[in-house]
Structure 1
């Protein structure tokens, strides 16, 4: 958590916090999608995180993916933008958030699949038809390459 969000949390405690964020759909050579499981969590998610003050969404997704996976990526396009009360989540420490999330399709430029910041406990690729239970109820279409290939998905 950045100093900015720590400062806000110190003021509001675990109460609901609205957070602009980004997430990445990263596929391997078999078109499987990369998911992470964070320490202390039992469910999976995409490489993702909050947009920091002064940071563009594309800068944010590059930073977050590197920190969580060790991969250097290139954001190719926006798959979708999602928000609303169904994007609320409560972390194991009791902190409540509501995300507005921009999902990027990304390609891998370089790097080794290995967490840099220690936030991710497990990194794993899943086939489209085997997506694990995820923390945020993202639309299933974003994971199906042929459905999300030529359009941006909105709810």
Structure 2
């Protein structure tokens, strides 16, 4: 789904100026231990399935909704792998909108569904091996994507 009414209303008031957004992202692995990435329409850089937390949603509800909308997969949020924020998590979209994310990254398990974006926001979805991760929009630390490292600790940045 494109931006919610809440975020659209904020954008109408502030234009493309910097907007602070609480958000979630998902690390989803397939049976081959590859990680799922998405590429949004009109963007050349990849990202994790992710999005803004909507009013009234818990972070776990938000990540479940976002993953379904962007990929068609039904997932279960299993644990928090990291919490990331600050100036280095700023991004400017191709339309000029500036954001600074505070992101909770969840380890998620596929429960059901078929890989097929439903919201029209995603142009491409693809699984990548840990050693082939594409250039991504948000500069998460590399250890977030190493399965053996992210099973025991939460990364804060």
Give me the TM-score of the superposition, normalised by structure 1: 0.99
Q: Distance in 2 between matches of 1:26 and 1:129?
A: 16
Match of 2:5 in 1: 3
Q: Distance in 2 between matches of 1:25 and 1:31?
A: 11
Match of 1:40 in 2: 42
Q: CA deviation at 1:89?
A: 0.3
Q: CA deviation at 1:52?
A: 0.3
Match of 1:28 in 2: 30
Match of 1:152 in 2: 154
Match of 2:133 in 1: 131
Q: Distance in 2 between matches of 1:25 and 1:140?
A: 13
Query: Which consecutive segments of 4 or more residues in structure 1 shift more than 4 A?
Result: none
Q: 2:117 aligns with which of 109, 115, 118?
A: 115
Q: Distance in 2 between matches of 1:62 and 1:154?
A: 22
Task: Identify unmatched segments of 5+ residues in structure 1.
Answer: none
1:104 equivalenced with 2:89 (yes/no): no
Q: Distance in 2 between matches of 1:15 and 1:122?
A: 28
Q: Distance in 2 between matches of 1:91 and 1:63?
A: 22
Q: CA deviation at 1:64?
A: 0.2
Q: CA deviation at 1:154?
A: 1.6
Q: Distance in 1 between matches of 2:46 and 2:116?
A: 16
Alignment RMSD, CA only?
A: 0.4
Task: Identify unmatched segments of 5+ residues in structure 2.
Answer: none
Q: Distance in 2 between matches of 1:105 and 1:114?
A: 20
Q: Secondary structure at the match of 1:92?
A: coil
Q: How does 1:51-130 map to 2 (within 5 A)?
A: 51-130=53-132
**Count of residue correspondences:** 155
Q: Distance in 1 between matches of 2:109 and 2:86?
A: 28
